[in-house]
């Protein structure tokens, strides 16, 4: 029994923030949903799907998920890159969703079944001052989380990525026609962060897992210094301590510290991950399931990582839609070398469009047992939230130069 793809449509909607959604419908009327959101470049991937992918899907066999993946990846000639891979990822998610619905099974059961009862997750806490950060962490712990990412302000700066003064929740992308320009001072940050995190460790005790994200902002030796200074804090991980482009830099960091290292949220293929994994320069690989070409490709990354005892820790910010979050949970549940799943959370209004059935209780996630991925999209609701431009901030140093990370 096979079914053909009848149509593939792109929906751009903005319930709380911008999302790009792919709707694939079969001849039998089964609908599969994919997410193709690339933060700040949403319309590029929407056009890629609408103009160059959707016409190729019509008439294809919806059951042939791997073959369609290979067709879109190898057939494009221009392989890799965030736009291409998000588009392929969206198709892949939609086809797994259809497959689960046709077989009346949650997707994790098509991936070999659960290897754990639930998925350890962390969410974000932030505060400009140490006291505000402690309050934010306490609030996260009161919701049952046992792992929390902690970010604070930096003395002498007016803004810091990931923190909104006086608020514990935040959205990194700001609405507007161009990015907000922030000032950044690495020296001030690497002086301040170890003190803040050491005080926070004293506050929470030794059993809470603390994570910290440096957002790619340090040069190699600064990254090594920070990781070394943070050793007494016993972080669960230090994330994106330098960029993912010059991967040799991570060797220098690695050789100088025992702080566990995580990287890879902007990676989009196994090729981006390969050298860091096989050189054992990182402990956690962080690509999101959709940005790395969907379930079909991400599970290859997961298996490569397992050979080198690297754990999988998928990116789960607000800028991947609940469809990607659900797909990530299905794969997580069936992946032996899962470390932890990020769950940043969504603005309340996002749930008006994305009706998800996955659960989060006491910091543990579960994809649920609905057939497919378990997320349905309300298209009437989506139409009520038109796209508007929003961008991540950019940063300059004190003398006005663009940062070189």
At 34, list the tokens. 């994919």
Round to whole Å and give the CA distance between 264 and 283. Answer: 11
Least Å from the CB of residue 192 to Co ion: 19
Please identify which residue in 35, 265, 272, 332 interacts with ligand EZ4, judged by CB under 6 A: 265
Count interface residues toward ligand EZ4 (CB under 6 A): 10
Task: Give the residue with the Cβ less far from ligand EZ4, 34 or 317.
Answer: 317
Least Å from the CB of residue 2 to ligand EZ4: 37
CA angle (221, 224, 229) in 5-degree steps: 125
Q: Tell whether residue 35 is a contact of ligand EZ4 (CB under 6 A).
A: no
C-alpha closest to that of 46 among 33, 31, 32, 36:
36
Please identify which residue in 14, 18, 39, 68 interacts with ligand EZ4, judged by CB under 6 A: 39
154 contacts 189 by C-beta, under 8 angstroms: yes
215 catalytic per annotation: yes
Selecting among 108, 161, 346, 358, the annotated active-site residue is: 161
Task: Give the residue with the Cβ less far from ligand EZ4, 105 or 403.
Answer: 403
Q: List residues near Co ion by CB under 5 A.
A: 213, 265
Q: Which residues in 118-180 belong to E strands, given as ranges?
A: 119-127, 147-152, 174-175
Task: Give the residue with the Cβ less far from Co ion, 73 or 237.
Answer: 237
Round to whole Å and give the CA distance between 59 and 62. Answer: 9
Round to whole Å and give the CA distance between 72 and 68. Answer: 6
Task: Give the residue with the Cβ less far from Co ion, 209 or 265.
Answer: 265
Q: Tell whether residue 106 is a contact of ligand EZ4 (CB under 6 A).
A: no
Applying the rule CB under 6 A, the residues between 335 and 394 that interact with ligand EZ4 are 342, 392
C-alpha closest to that of 207 among 181, 230, 228, 234:
234
224 contacts 253 by C-beta, under 8 angstroms: yes
Q: Residue 132 touches which of ligand EZ4, Co ion, none (CB < 5 to 8 A by kind)?
A: none
203 catalytic per annotation: no
Round to whole Å and give the CA distance between 381 and 246. Answer: 43
Q: Tell whether residue 244 is a contact of ligand EZ4 (CB under 6 A).
A: no
**Three-class DSSP category at 293:** coil
Least Å from the CB of residue 266 to ligand EZ4: 8
Least Å from the CB of residue 318 to ligand EZ4: 7
C-alpha closest to that of 217 among 191, 192, 239, 247:
239
Applying the rule CB under 6 A, the residues between 306 and 325 that interact with ligand EZ4 are 315, 317, 319
Run of H or E including 73 = helix 65-75
Q: Tell whether residue 209 is a contact of ligand EZ4 (CB under 6 A).
A: no
4 contacts 61 by C-beta, under 8 angstroms: yes
Task: Give the residue with the Cβ less far from ligand EZ4, 317 or 339.
Answer: 317
Task: Give the residue with the Cβ less far from ligand EZ4, 88 or 320.
Answer: 320
Q: Which residues are catalytic?
A: 161, 215
Q: Where along the sequence are the contacts to ligand EZ4 (CB under 6 A)? A: 39, 172, 213, 215, 265, 315, 317, 319, 342, 392
């Amino acid at each position: 029994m096979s079914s053909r793809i009848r149509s593939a449509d792109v929906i751009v909607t903005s319930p709380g923030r911008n999302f790009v959604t792919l709707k694939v419908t079969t001849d039998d009327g089964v609908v599969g949903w994919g997410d193709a959101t690339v933060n700040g470049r949403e319309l590029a991937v929407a056009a890629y799907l609408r103009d160059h992918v959707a016409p190729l899907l019509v008439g294809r066999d919806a059951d042939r998920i791997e073959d369609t993946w290979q067709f879109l990846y190898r057939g494009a000639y221009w392989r890799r890159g965030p736009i291409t891979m998000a588009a392929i990822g969206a198709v892949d998610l939609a086809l797994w969703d259809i497959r689960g619905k046709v077989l009346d099974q949650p997707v994790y059961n098509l991936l070999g079944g659960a290897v754990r009862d639930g998925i350890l997750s962390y969410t974000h806490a932030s505060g400009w001052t140490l006291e505000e950060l402690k309050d934010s962490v306490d609030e996260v712990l009161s919701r049952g989380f046992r792992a929390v990412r902690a970010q604070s302000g930096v003395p002498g700066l007016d803004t810091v990525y990931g923190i909104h003064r006086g608020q514990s929740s935040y959205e990194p992308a700001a609405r507007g026609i161009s990015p907000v320009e922030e000032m950044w001072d690495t020296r001030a940050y690497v002086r301040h962060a170890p003190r803040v995190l050491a005080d926070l460790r004293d506050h929470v005790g030794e059993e809470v897992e603390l994570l910290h994200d440096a957002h790619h902002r340090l040069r190699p030796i600064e990254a090594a210094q920070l990781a070394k200074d943070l050793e007494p804090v016993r972080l669960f991980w230090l994330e994106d301590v330098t960029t993912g482009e010059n991967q040799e830099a991570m060797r220098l960091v690695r050789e100088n510290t025992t702080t566990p290292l995580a990287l890879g949220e902007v990676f989009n293929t196994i090729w981006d991950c390969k050298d860091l994994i096989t050189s054992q320069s990182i402990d956690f690989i962080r690509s999101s399931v959709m940005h790395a070409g969907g379930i079909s490709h991400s599970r290859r990354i997961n298996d490569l990582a397992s050979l080198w005892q690297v754990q999988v820790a998928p990116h789960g910010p607000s800028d991947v839609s609940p469809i990607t979050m659900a797909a990530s949970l299905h794969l997580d549940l069936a992946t032996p070398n899962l470390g932890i799943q990020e769950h940043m959370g969504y603005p309340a209004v996002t749930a008006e469009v994305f009706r998800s059935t996955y659960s989060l209780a006491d910091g543990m996630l579960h994809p649920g047992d609905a057939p497919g991925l378990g997320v349905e999209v309300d298209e009437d609701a989506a139409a009520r939230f038109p796209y508007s431009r929003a961008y991540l901030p950019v940063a300059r140093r004190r003398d006005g130069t663009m940062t070189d990370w």
